[in-house]
C-alpha cells in the first residue's frame, strides 16, 4: 500500500435516477481532477425518494447503478464505491447494496446493509426502511487489495453498531467506508461523534460520503461528508453543499497511530 488520494462525495440525490447519475458523474470528475484514486459515493446516490417509488423502480435503479459504477471506474481508472442502491430480492423487497468496483470494472466487494433504519424521530419524520428493504445477513468482507489497503464496507445506520467495525478491523481493515444518508435531525448530534469513534477505536482511516440538503418533502440529510485519520482527526469535511471531501490515505500515518496507541493488541474480550 502506497499513499493515495481518496474522495468522499457529497450529493443531494432526488427521486430522479438520470439526474442523480449525472450529478454523481460530475462529482466523480471533480474528485479525479484533484487526484483521487479511490472515490466513494453516498448511500442512495442513484435514487432518494419515497419507499414505494423506490420499490416500483428498483430493477431499473439496480441495473443502471451497477452499469454506471463499472463505466465510471473504467473511464477514470479509479476504484469506485457506490454506497447504497436497491437490488431486488424476493417479492416486494430489495437489498440496500454497497458495491465497490476496480479500475478494470471488476467487482471487488459487495455488501447488503444489515441494520435497517426503523425510527420515529421527534421532528415528525418516521422512517421504516424494513418495509421495503431486506436486511443482509452476512458480515461484510474486506475488499480485495488493489494497492489501496484493506477496505471494509458498511452503510449508514450500521455506524451505530460497533461490533460490525470490530469485525472488519479483526479482518485487517486499514480503511472503513461509511457511506450515509444521515438525517438532519440525528446528524447534528451524532454523525461526527459516531464516525470519529469508529476511527479511533479501530485505529483505521474512515471515509464517509454523505447526502445533504432536501431530497423531497420533509426528507433532509445532514451533509458533512468526511475523511478521518486513525487518530480520529478530521482531514476533510465537505460542509453542507454538494461537493467532495478530499484527503490522503497514508500508510505511514496508519502505522504511527497503531504503534502509539496499540489498543487492538490489548483487547481482553473477543
Whether the CB-CB separation of 195 and 205 falls below 8 Å is answered with: no
43 noted as active-site residue: yes
Strands 36-41 and 4-11: parallel
Which residues, 6+ apart, have CB-to-CB distance to 10 below 8 Å?
Answer: 27, 42, 209, 210, 211, 212, 223, 224, 225, 238, 239, 241, 242, 243, 244, 245
Whether the CB-CB separation of 187 and 159 falls below 8 Å is answered with: no
Q: Which three cell numbers stand for residue 70?
A: 463499472
Q: How many CB atoms lie within 10 A of CB 224?
A: 23
113 noted as active-site residue: yes
Residue 52 backbone dihedrals phi, psi, to 5 degrees = -65, -40
3-state SS class at 71: helix
Catalytic-labelled residue, pool 113, 177, 192, 204: 113
204 noted as active-site residue: no
Catalytic-labelled residue, pool 23, 54, 70, 156: 156
Catalytic-labelled residue, pool 43, 54, 70, 177: 43
Distance CA 198, CA 204 (A): 8
Catalytic residues: 43, 113, 156
Amino acid at each position: 500500500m502506497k499513499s493515495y488520494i481518496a474522495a468522499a462525495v457529497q450529493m443531494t440525490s432526488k427521486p430522479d435516477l438520470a439526474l442523480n447519475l449525472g450529478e454523481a458523474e460530475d462529482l466523480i470528475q471533480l474528485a479525479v481532477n484533484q487526484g483521487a484514486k479511490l472515490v466513494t459515493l453516498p448511500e442512495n446516490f442513484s435514487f432518494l425518494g419515497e419507499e414505494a417509488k423506490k420499490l416500483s423502480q428498483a430493477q431499473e435503479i439496480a441495473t443502471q447503478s451497477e452499469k454506471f459504477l463499472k463505466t465510471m471506474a473504467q473511464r477514470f481508472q479509479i476504484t469506485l464505491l457506490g454506497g447504497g442502491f436497491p437490488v431486488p430480492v424476493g417479492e416486494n423487497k430489495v437489498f440496500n447494496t454497497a458495491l465497490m468496483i476496480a479500475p478494470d470494472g471488476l467487482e471487488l466487494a459487495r455488501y447488503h446493509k444489515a441494520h435497517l433504519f426503523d425510527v420515529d424521530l421527534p421532528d415528525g419524520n418516521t422512517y421504516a426502511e424494513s418495509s421495503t428493504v431486506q436486511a443482509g445477513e452476512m458480515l461484510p468482507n474486506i475488499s480485495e487489495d488493489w494497492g489501496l489497503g484493506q477496505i471494509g464496507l458498511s452503510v449508514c445506520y450500521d455506524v451505530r453498531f460497533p461490533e460490525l467495525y470490530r469485525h472488519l478491523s479483526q479482518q485487517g481493515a486499514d480503511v472503513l467506508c461509511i457511506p450515509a444518508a444521515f438525517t438532519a435531525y440525528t446528524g447534528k448530534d451524532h454523525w461526527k461523534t459516531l464516525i470519529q469513534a469508529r476511527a479511533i477505536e479501530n485505529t483505521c482511516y474512515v471515509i464517509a460520503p454523505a447526502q445533504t440538503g432536501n431530497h423531497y418533502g420533509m426528507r433532509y440529510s445532514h451533509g458533512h461528508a468526511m475523511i478521518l485519520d486513525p487518530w480520529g482527526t478530521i482531514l476533510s469535511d465537505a460542509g453542507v453543499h454538494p461537493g467532495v471531501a478530499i484527503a490522503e490515505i497514508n500508510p505511514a500515518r496508519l502505522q504511527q497511530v497503531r504503534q502509539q496507541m496499540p489498543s487492538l493488541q490489548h483487547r481482553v474480550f473477543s
